[in-house]
Structure 1
Amino acid sequence: MYIKPSAAIRNNYNEISNLCKESGEPVYLTKNGEGDLVVMDLQAFEQREKMLKLREKLVAEEEARLAGKKGYTIDDLDEVLKKAAKGQR
């Protein structure tokens, strides 16, 4: 974890940008000794957002399963995939 004072972003933007890109980790900025902002590389942010969306979908499906939603067996899935491979539905 990288922690920098908020003035660092103003005075050393390129250094912080490079740190974010090279480490793939966020940089925490403080103001008057307290946490204020988080700065991170755009690519790392987009990857994190994709993971969060995937986790949301997985949690929703698991909740639906626990609520009784019908699922598919491996045999059901195998049949669907075979039909799809043959171009059928």
Structure 2
Amino acid sequence: MPQILPIKDLKNTSNISEMCHKADEPIYITKNGYGDMVLMSIELFEKTQKKWNMYSDIEQSEQQIKEGRIKDARKSLSAVKEKYGL
């Protein structure tokens, strides 16, 4: 279940830092009862960023397939082997 904290709780930075490093998900910060910010550890951010990059690569690949910009894997591998004498 996501953790939701009011912005006034950000005063205790040590506790917030500890919470971020223990949590496996972002911590949502509210202001006047509405969503305002998201906090997470650097480790969680980097892990999430890798997923976003992977999804972006998959989306780009799917678009290339739709556009017909594909190559036969066997022919490409043979060309690489021939080029480098493998």
Q: Give the TM-score normalised by structure 2.
A: 0.79
1:60 aligns with 2:60: yes
Q: Any unmatched runs of 5+ in structure 1?
A: none
Contact 1:4–1:28 at 8 Å: present in 2 too?
A: yes
Q: Is the 8 A contact 1:29 1:37 kept in 2?
A: yes
Offset from partner CA, 1:12-39 (integer Å, 9 cap, x none): 2222211111122111111111111111
Hey, what's the Cα distance between the residues in 1 that align with 2:43 and 2:60? 26
RMSD: 2.3
**One-letter amino acid of the counterpart of residue 5, structure 1:** P
Distance in 2 of aligned mates of 1:60 and 1:26? 27
TM-score, normalised on structure 1? 0.77
Q: What letter is aligned with 1:88?
A: G
Report how many residues are paired: 84
Check the 8 A contact 1:3/1:30 in 2, yes or no.
yes
User: Percent same amino acid among aligned pairs?
Assistant: 28
In structure 2, C-alpha distance between the alignment counterparts of 1:54 and 1:32, rounded to whole Å? 36
Name the structure 2 match of 1:6: 7
Q: How does 1:13-24 map to 2 (within 5 A)?
A: 13-24=13-24
In structure 2, how many angstroms separate the alpha carbons of the residues matched to 1:27 and 1:36?
11
Any idea what SS the aligned residue of 2:36 has? Answer: strand
Instruction: Name 2:85's counterpart in structure 1.
Output: 88
- Which secondary structure does the structure 1 equivalent of 2:4 belong to? strand
The 1:7–1:80 alpha-carbon spacing in structure 2 relative to 1, beyond 3 Å, is: farther
Q: Secondary structure at the match of 2:71?
A: coil
